[in-house]
Amino acid sequence: MSKKLNFLMVLVLVLLVSTSAFASWKGTITLWDAPRWGNEDDDKFHWIKDKIAEFEASHPGVKIELVETPWAELGEKLSVAIAGRAWPDIVPVDISGAINRNHLEQGVVEPLDAFMTSEELEDFFPGALQAYTYHDKLYGIPMSMTVHVMLLNLDHFEEAGVEPPVDGRWTWDEFLEKAKALTFDSDGDGVIDKYGFSTYILQGYYEAWPFFYMDGAEPIVDGKFGFNSPEAISAIQKLVDLKLVHGAAPVEMGSSDVGGTFRALAREGERHVAIQPWNTWAIATVTGEGVNHLPNVMVAEYPSGDAGQPVTVGGAGGWVVMHQRDRQKLDVVVEFAKFLSTTEEQYTFATEYGTFPARKSAEALDPFADKPHMARAAQMVGQAVPLPEHPNWAQIDDRIQAELQLIFAGEKTVEQGMNDAAQQVQRLLR
């Protein structure tokens, strides 16, 4: 037998053994996921449960364990798991980010470049890939992109005799005047019961933050805290005055009550706020069926301030694979993550969850052909700025949001609260 033939036989045997080992891996993959859109039973994990069932059926011996985790708790829970070296196999990332740079530097996240072909990478929008790239390595699979938008209850506008903004665009002064005019006593009992605007303040959520950017501020500038700059103080003060001076927002504005805030805009029988900012997932909710259906809604931009241009906060959602000691298991874990991120699934997320596809092929399917509100929101992607990247962002965010809550409650002035935040945050920026 020639040496060449002998070498080829050995190579075939190696490939067969490798393929057999891959095919024979059996075990449990632990997946964390957070609520998505609900079904007829209001099960907000039905999509992932269906995908798990499909994957298990095609991979005998592979079990997917789902751990249902609220978005607001995901980051802290993952940090605790990492500290205890008991992390899951796959975790989701949304606009606020459960994975941060510190996790990448700790080596607890798998780089996925070796698992992605050039053709696959070409199908993703560059901005989506950039959101998951660190030191020229890809640490995740982008699933969707999203921005924050303003949702307007046009029935409230009509009742108050107020014209909505033309093409959904307005300056701060125009926004303020409309918010004031939308605040009134609707039943004649002498008590204000309809308000122009409201939002909430909570760690990991950023619906209010585009207002703080509108005069040209950023939370971190050249490694220093930026929300105590004149531009930030000016912008935050405007929104505080809308509530505390002009009375165009209910007393609960600026609290952490997410559910109550949304119900005040959309819940049938509870609607008393005309304008609120939300992530694009809310568009699908208010334009769908059920008690949160708004029959007459408009999607608008954030008002422009001294910077002259509207700003919103955006991000890229997706899946991250945590470090695997068993490299055969890693192959299957990555296969499952890619299974969740196909063109078809990104199209489903666009039509059902209110996000924008991270894949060009999914966008080419025109998911918003019959969804003009989502098509309008898609026009705002170019206005979006990302959240700051910093290993201590979760702690930084916590301190900023806590001070903002005190400011909107009237317990601190804007300058006092942001200077107090600066003292706490600057230590974390070093």
Q: Which residue ranges make up each domain of the chain?
A: 21-146+315-378, 149-314+387-429
Q: Does the reported pTM lie above 0.95?
A: no
User: Residue 187's CB: how many other CB atoms inside 10 A?
Assistant: 8
CA angle 58, 64, 68 (to 5 degrees): 135
3 state DSSP class of 385 = strand
Which of 15-29, 36-50, 59-73 is predicted with the least confidence, judged by mean pLDDT?
15-29
Distances in Å between the alpha carbon of 341 and those of 48, 144, 338, 345? 11, 9, 5, 6
Rounded to the nearest 10 degrees, the angle between the axes of helix 327-339 and helix 3-24 is 60
Question: So what's the pLDDT on residue 8?
Answer: 44
Which candidate, 233, 256, 211, 219, places its Cα nearest to that of 412? Answer: 233
Question: So what's the pLDDT on residue 15?
Answer: 44
pLDDT of 74 higher than 90: no
Question: So what's the pLDDT on residue 13?
Answer: 46
pLDDT digits (tens, 9 = 90+) for 2-28: 544 454 444 444 444 444 444 579 999
Where b means 16+ CB within 10 Å and e means fewer, 140-156 reads: bbbbbbbbbbbbbbeeb
Q: Which residues pair with 208 in a beta bridge?
A: none
Question: So what's the pLDDT on residue 72?
Answer: 79
Find how far residue 87's CA is from the centre of its chain: 22
Assigned token pair, 348: 């489903």
Residues 6+ away with beta carbon under 8 Å from 207: 148, 199, 200, 276, 277, 278, 279
Do the Cβ atoms of 415 and 222 come closer than 8 Å? no
DSSP assignment of 154-177: HHHHHHHT-PPPGGG--BHHHHHH
Domains 21-146+315-378 and 149-314+387-429 share a fold: yes
Distances in Å between the alpha carbon of 265 and those of 241, 291, 314? 21, 11, 22
- CA–CA separation, 352 vs 354, rounded Å? 6
Mean pLDDT to the nearest integer, 212-241: 97
DSSP assignment of 92-152: EE-TT-SS-HHHHHHT-B---GGG--HHHHHTB-HHHHHHTEETTEE-SEEEEEEEEEEEE
* Phi, psi (degrees; rounded to nearest 5) at 327: -70, -25
Which of 33-42, 68-77, 194-203 is predicted with the least confidence, judged by mean pLDDT?
68-77
Question: pLDDT band for position 199 (50/70/90)?
Answer: very high
- CA–CA separation, 274 vs 360, rounded Å? 35
Residue ranges in 188-326 assigned as alpha helix (H)? 209-213, 230-244, 258-266, 281-286
Question: pLDDT band for position 385 (50/70/90)?
Answer: confident
Mean pLDDT to the nearest integer, 64-92: 92
Q: Is the dihedral of CA 26, 28, 38, 377 positive or negative?
A: negative
Find how far residue 107's CA is from the centre of its chain: 24
pLDDT of 303 higher than 80: yes
Is domain 149-314+387-429 in CATH 3.40.190.10, yes or no? yes
Between these two residues, 162 and 78, which has the higher pLDDT value? 162
The CATH number given to 21-146+315-378 is: 3.40.190.10
Assigned token pair, 205: 């959520």
Q: What secondary structure letter does DSSP report for 230?
A: H
Residue carrying structure tokens 């926004």 = 175
